[in-house]
Chains A and B, each alone.
Chain A
């Protein structure tokens, strides 16, 4: 697959977990933590499911725990694709 970008991630997050509660996803949020953005572990689990469905990338079960920020999440997905 092509590299997953922040734009892709933003779209996915909005579709599967709704808009961020505490920040504008279109702003500079690459290094904000998901927790600070208002996304809990279930939101990230849902996101992982979408990544698997759309890109065929299977994230490890603990992906939500080991990737605290969008930058880390993107790096993990792109390292596995």
Chain B
């Protein structure tokens, strides 16, 4: 069976546009969480967000794409191009059916959709953009990457909230094993617009704090929900042999994956996360003792933090492995969060530095070795990334250092 490796990373994150800016900010514990600027959120119960700074679409996209793309699709196209450049890939040099695109999404192009629905209700159907037909849609980012870069191989979109970011990358690995040479994967997600905001508020999981340093505190006794953000990462996944033939720089291997589903909430049965971790480790052929760091889902909802800490300590023992949540600097990016964590884990392997969890004073009751305050030097050869989606999704990916 062929091995799937990551050879390119493109990042659009609230604490940095571009992989270099994001990683420097993350190691420097610089947060991108601020009062919402994309709309007037002052009258809403949640007023903070992680917004990607300094993105001017006209600088990155041809004008033909501007009328037909949501903000998040534009960020996706930026990140996809950055990831291809990082991998040293010129798609025009490759066979179009050898390359596919598998991304994840939780909401599609929500802001675009809101604008066109407002046009529909206030002015009439003639005023709705023809591009609404696809610009709002979950699969739009996959489609636009595919069209822009001429990639006609196996493609798709995964929709399982936060877990989708890992499910997409796992699907990319499947397609590599089935014979594709290259899959553009990962996700850039978010919906910071009034319509998206009320949809997120309905989860009951958003923090109502106005203090960016106290709003999103996973595994802290003061945990009070999360801050939503926008952004994520696009990853270039290749067959290891293909990558090796072209002497590509390899960040790491997608060594293991598993997804489980939680039992119904009122059954009293154990949530599925522990099993997802164990199955992903088994898939990678790795023992728990080999894992050097865990990137946590970090819900910052006390019951969910308890579930996650219980799953981690069940597999690794109390304080048995360093755990971190750099998403405390970006907010939760829905399906974009886990691909960004995969990027951070791969950069962590490269640089020997585990990025910190910011602002959090760990509640000792969780018995986690949480990396807080500043980066921790460590030789990281195997990393575990966790993502849980609202509605019961649990996914886990094991990354292994490139040999």
In the bound complex, do residue A46 and residue B127 qualify as a contact, i.e. CB atoms below 8 Å apart?
no
Does A6 touch B at the CB level, under 8 Å? no
Restricting to A6-42, which residues have a CB under 8 Å from any CB of B? 14-21, 38, 42
A-B contacts, 8 listed (Cβ < 8 Å):
A17-B67, A17-B68, A19-B62, A46-B67, A46-B129, A49-B127, A53-B126, A53-B127
Cα A17 to Cα B130 in complex, Å, equals: 10
Q: How far is the CA of A45 from the CA of B134 in the complex (A)?
A: 13
Residue B133 lies at the interface, judged by CB distance under 8 Å to chain A: yes
Contacts of B62 in A (CB 8 A): 18-19, 21
Picked from B64, B68, B127, B129, the residue with its CB within 8 Å of the CB of A21 is B64
B315 at the A/B interface (Cβ < 8 Å)?
A: no
Docked CA distance A52–B65 (Å) = 23
Q: Taking beta carbons and an 8 Å cutoff, which residues of A are in contact with B?
A: 14-21, 38, 42-43, 45-46, 49, 52-53
Question: For B64, what are the chain A residues with a Cβ–Cβ distance below 8 Å?
Answer: 17-21, 38, 43
Contact A42 B68 (CB under 8 A): yes
**B63 touching A42 by the CB < 8 A rule?**
no
Residues of B within 8 A of A20 (CB): 64
Contacts of A21 in B (CB 8 A): 62, 64
Q: What string of 1s and 0s marks CB contacts (under 8 Å) between B125-139 and chain A?
A: 011111101000000
Q: In the complex, which residue of chain A has the Cβ closest to the Cβ of B129?
A: A46
Shortest distance in angstroms between A50's beta carbon and chain B's nearest beta carbon? 10
Q: What CA separation (Å) do A19 and B128 show in the bound complex?
A: 21
7 nearest A-B pairs in the assembled complex, by CB-CB distance? A18-B64, A18-B63, A45-B130, A46-B130, A19-B63, A42-B130, A21-B64
Q: How large is the interface on B (under 10, 10 to 19, 20 to 34, 35 or more residues)?
A: 10 to 19
Closest to A41 in B: B130
Known: A49-B126, A52-B126. A42 touches B65 (CB 8 A): no
Considering only CB atoms, which chain B residue lies closest to A39 in the complex? B64
- Residue B314 CB within 8 A of the other chain: no
**Are A18 and B65 in contact, CB atoms less than 8 angstroms apart?**
yes
Which residues in B have their C-beta under 8 angstroms from that of A16?
67
Interchain CB contact (< 8 A) of A46 among B65, B66, B131: B131
A-facing residues in B37-94 (Cβ within 8 Å): 62-68
CA distance A60 to B260 in the complex (A): 51
* Cβ-defined contact, B126 with A18, below 8 A: no
Q: How far is the CA of A14 from the CA of B66 in the complex (A)?
A: 10
Q: Are A49 and B63 in contact, CB atoms less than 8 angstroms apart?
A: no
Establish whether residues A42 and B127, one from each chain, have CB atoms under 8 Å apart when the complex forms. Answer: no
Give A49 to B127 CA distance when docked, in angstroms: 7
When distances are taken between beta carbons in the complex, the residues of chain A under 8 Å from B129 are: 46, 49
A14-B63, A18-B63, A46-B67 given; 13 more Cβ-contact pairs under 8 Å: A17-B67, A17-B68, A18-B68, A19-B63, A20-B64, A21-B64, A42-B133, A43-B64, A43-B130, A45-B130, A46-B131, A49-B130, A53-B127
Instruction: Give Cα distance in the complex from A38 to B68, angstroms.
Output: 14
Mark each residue of chain B from 155 to 167: 1 if its CB lies under 8 Å from any CB of chain A, else 0: 0000000000000
* A-contact 0/1 string along B115-131, CB 8 Å cutoff: 00000000000111111
